[in-house]
């Protein structure tokens, strides 16, 4: 499957808001986890279906419903029905080919993000879509599969460390976004190291294989950009949002993530420049190397061609070739040939062709 566009064809012709999962199915069953807390209390449990969350919906505590697996229509429909989410949003949740964006409805804010990981073996970026629905006192997070970068957030919630338990659900949403963005730095570090390795390679050992690796790197850069660029706009509009969902005090934190995003984008652009530079460097390296080979070889050939001509001359069978019969001819010819060879060699050296 193309990594730049997911198969949408099966959805062709369906009305807007139709719930069709687009993407690879990564797990069997949807699993739902529910965390409910305020400054004083904390409870965490796995629930079987979304209806168990109804009592928490209007409670004053902050409720975080984490849903792993978004391929099951019925679960998504339940979320829509119980929390009053617009069908177009539900459609977006199930379509894993979204561009990061935020949409501000009156009663909730919808945020789509890309959670990235770097497959060190394949040197490929893996992307997973995370949707956040931020309501008056709940946050619903929907992921494609088990495993995420939110463990540290859960830990802080459990231990009641830092501001998180004292703050509202907007701070929880911020923490989740921050966790995802923070993880981008890890990926950038790895790519940075990879680029430096490649640089070594290109300078010291350029091979046709390098071309493919550089082409692949370019593609990964495209994927990275695609996930990160829209974040800037997203965070910008979250900050300027006048939604009552987001309190003023959270804005400072959103600005902080925004700054991180700018820095990530800067780094990606620098990496792109670096990669482009590597391609140029590879091309000069390979051409320098080729030139060196061709030059030495051609020069060898060039020195011997006149010599071969000389020996050819005395291989002729004419009856009247006076030199043939002289005693020292053979020796003299050798001398001449050595002289020619050496002087050509010196000439090439002096011209810096060797």
In the region spanning residues 258 to 277, those forming contacts with its own copies, defined by CB under 8 A, are 259, 262-263, 266-267, 270-271, 273-274, 277
Measured CA to CA, the distance from residue 301 to residue 295 in angstroms comes to 10
Alpha helices in the chain (DSSP H): 54-57, 73-83, 87-94, 151-159, 169-204, 208-240, 248-313, 322-325, 329-350
Report residue 123: phi and psi, to 5°: 50, 45
Give the residue with the Cβ less far from its own copies, 29 or 216.
216
Write the burial class of residue 337 (CB in 10 Å: 0-12 exposed, 13-18 middle, 19+ buried): middle
Residue with tokens 């090439």: 348
Question: Exactly one of 27, 226, 236, 239 binds its own copies (CB under 8 A); which one?
Answer: 226
Give the nearest distance from C-beta 243 to its own copies in angstroms. Answer: 16
| Residues from 141 through 180 that contact its own copies (CB under 8 A) | 151-152, 155-156, 161-164, 175, 178-179
Binding segment toward its own copies, per CB under 8 A, in 70-78, 119-127, 128-136, 212-220? 212-220
User: According to CB under 8 A, which residues from 284 to 303 bind its own copies?
Assistant: 284-288, 290-295, 297-302
Helix (H) or strand (E) segment spanning residue 61: none
Query: Would you count residue 52 as binding its own copies (CB under 8 A)?
Result: no
Residues 1-20 that bind its own copies (CB under 8 A): 2, 4-5, 7-9, 11-17
Q: How many CB atoms lie within 10 A of CB 176?
A: 24
211 binds its own copies (CB under 8 A): yes
Q: The dihedral of CA 168, 173, 178, 179: what is its sign?
A: positive
Q: Which is nearer to its own copies, 34 or 191 (CB)?
A: 191
Shortest spacing between CB 274 and its own copies, in angstroms: 7
Q: Which of 32, 188, 234, 238 binds its own copies (CB under 8 A)?
A: 188
């Amino acid at each position: 499957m193309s990594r730049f566009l997911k198969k949408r064809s099966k959805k062709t012709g369906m009305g807007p808001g139709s719930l069709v999962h687009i993407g690879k199915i990564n797990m069997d069953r949807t699993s739902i986890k529910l965390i409910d807390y305020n400054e004083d209390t904390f409870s965490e449990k796995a629930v079987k279906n979304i209806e168990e969350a109804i009592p928490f919906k209007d409670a004053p505590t902050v409720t975080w419903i984490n849903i792993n697996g978004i391929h099951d229509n019925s679960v998504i429909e339940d979320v829509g029905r119980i929390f009053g989410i617009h069908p177009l949003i539900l459609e977006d949740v199930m379509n894993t080919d979204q561009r990061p964006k935020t949409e501000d409805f009156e009663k909730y804010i919808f945020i789509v993000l890309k959670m990235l990981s770097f497959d060190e073996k394949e040197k490929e970026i893996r992307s997973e879509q995370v949707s956040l629905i931020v309501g008056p006192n709940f946050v619903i997070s929907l992921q494609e599969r088990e495993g995420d970068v939110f463990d540290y957030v859960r830990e802080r919630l459990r231990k009641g460390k830092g501001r998180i338990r004292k703050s509202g659900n907007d701070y929880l949403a911020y923490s989740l976004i921050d966790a995802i963005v923070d993880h981008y730095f890890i990926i950038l570090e790895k790519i940075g190291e990879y680029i430096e390795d490649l640089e070594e390679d290109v300078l010291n050992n350029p091979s046709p294989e390098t071309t493919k690796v550089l082409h692949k790197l370019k593609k990964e850069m495209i994927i990275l950009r695609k996930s990160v660029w829209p974040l800037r706009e997203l965070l910008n509009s979250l900050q300027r949002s006048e939604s009552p969902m987001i309190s003023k005090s959270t804005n400072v934190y959103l600005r902080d993530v925004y700054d991180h995003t700018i820095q990530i984008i800067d780094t990606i652009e620098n990496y792109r420049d670096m990669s482009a530079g590597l391609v140029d460097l590879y091309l000069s390296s390979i051409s320098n190397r080729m030139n060196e080979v061709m030059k030495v070889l051609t020069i060898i050939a060039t020195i011997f061609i006149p010599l071969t001509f000389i020996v050819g001359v005395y291989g002729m069978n004419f009856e009247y070739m006076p030199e043939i019969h002289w005693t020292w001819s053979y020796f003299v010819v050798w001398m001449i040939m050595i002289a020619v060879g050496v002087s050509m060699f010196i000439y090439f050296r002096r011209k810096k062709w060797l």
